[in-house]
Amino acid sequence: MALLAVSSLSASAQTIYGPASDLDPLFRGVLTRPSNLANPQQYAVDAAQAGDIESAISTYDQLLFYNPNLSRTRFELGVLYYRLGSYEMARDYFKSALEKRDIAPDLQQRAEEYLAIIDKKLLPDQFTGFAQTGLEYQTNPGAGPGPQTALASGGKFDTRFSSKGDWNWFGAFGVNYVHDFETQRGDTFEASVIGYDAQQFTLHQFDVGLMEVRAGPRFMIFPGSTSGLSVKPYAIGTGALLADAPYSAGGGGGLTVHANVGSIALDPYVEFAQQSYRNSSFYPFASGLSGPLSTYGLLASGPISPGLSWVSRVTYAHDNASFGPDSYNSYAADIWLPWNFTVGTDSRTWTLTPTAGVSRWLYDAPDPSIAALTTPRSTEWRVGLGLDVPIWRQVVLGMLVQYRADQSNIPAFTMHDLAVSAGPTIKF
């Protein structure tokens, strides 16, 4: 590498001629004064944030050439090799960082956390997940309109489903399984299951239970490449209870691709599912929602600054329901900004996550029972703020405040909801 080639130059060299003179000032500083550790350290940080992992690794290696005892440099090399998927190399650097006397308590804890994760990733069968329980209050758990909303028939909207506040107990879990085929390519089999259940204190018509399973193989396209390019076909199955009665089931499949572009991770996907809804005493017309659903989306994420990152999702969906007025096209966009930080002398990590999103629904036809001459058009705006407070080891207290507002040309589809929830979460 160029950085190593110039390491033998005199530190007093002041001028660089030729192509190197067009490089950014920080890199020129690395070339002209390689023994000045401040220059290469800042260059390595900037290169890592820009996604140029190879340059960052080379620069950190140069730092270790001048001072092999830098624990932070060894830690950062461990992080970079971890990002590349070179877990053995990452483990060696984390272990060597822990052996240095100058390692700070926060780096020691983070290195130990990385080592625990790496130990799992080096196993052929890996399980990760979370489980949470808690209490939630919602001003409008059924996402219903005001109790005086009139329908096209002249009658009033069923007050059992109008806007009312209520508490609920909720539980949620997620488990991810990865099997490494040990082909030296990085090909794996991945499966995940998530579940959610909420039991209302009073409004039991809004008790809900959800389950989703996804599974499929992931194939690496360019093994060992920093692009991380891979493709994953998968199957999906879903089921739901509403008001403690079977409500819906679905099955289908999809295809997703993963790629790293610099420091940005991209995961476009396409998914098709056949949905089947079942009528019940509370929801006698649910079967009209049955039909195929196709979804096209993109997940993207990347760093902003140390401790702060962004995650976003955009989707387009088309639902072809058996009851024509329930068919729709929808567009949605969401963004999350997780910020990891410490408080005072406590080295444990807190996470604050502001969120925002918008969805637009364009229905295919008017619903004669609601507004016979008006095709519904609805927009939902949502904002939220989540906070994870460390309690003990892998246990955190999760809190979330979220506000949603639906605006529609149909009064029955206009609503507001404020939700506040809190409860312990264990991660494994």
End-to-end CA distance of the chain: 40
Domain spanning 15-120: CATH 2.10.260.10: no
Tell me what pLDDT residue 19 has. Answer: 36
Q: What does the alpha-carbon distance between residue 396 and residue 304 come to, in Å, rounded to a whole number? A: 24
Domain boundaries, the chain: 15-120, 125-427
Exposure pattern of 278-315 as b/e (b: 16+ CB <10 Å)? bebebbeebbbbbbebebebbbbbbeeeeeebebebeb
Instruction: Assign 197 to helix, strand or coil.
Output: strand
CB of 93 within 8 A of CB of 74? yes
Q: Where are the beta strands (DSSP E) in 166-290?
A: 166-180, 188-200, 208-220, 230-242, 245-261, 264-277
CA distance 283 to 161: 11
Single out the residue of 253, 246, 185 nearest to residue 219, CA to CA.
185
Q: What is the pTM assigned to this prediction?
A: 0.77
Tokens 């960052």, located at residue: 56
User: Rounded to an integer, what distance in angstroms lies between the CA atom of residue 100 and that of residue 44?
Assistant: 21
Per-residue pLDDT tens listing for the chain (428 residues): 333 333 333 333 333 333 333 434 434 444 444 444 455 566 566 666 666 677 788 888 888 877 788 888 899 899 888 887 788 889 999 999 999 888 888 888 889 989 988 888 788 898 999 999 999 999 999 988 876 666 665 666 667 777 899 999 999 999 999 999 888 788 999 999 999 999 999 999 999 999 999 999 999 998 877 788 999 999 999 999 999 999 999 999 999 999 999 889 999 999 999 999 999 999 999 999 999 999 999 999 999 988 899 999 999 999 999 999 999 999 999 999 999 998 987 778 899 999 999 999 999 999 988 888 999 999 999 999 999 999 988 899 999 999 999 999 998 889 999 999 999 999 98
Distance (Å, rounded) from C-alpha 71 to C-alpha 283? 62
> What CATH class has 125-427?
mainly beta
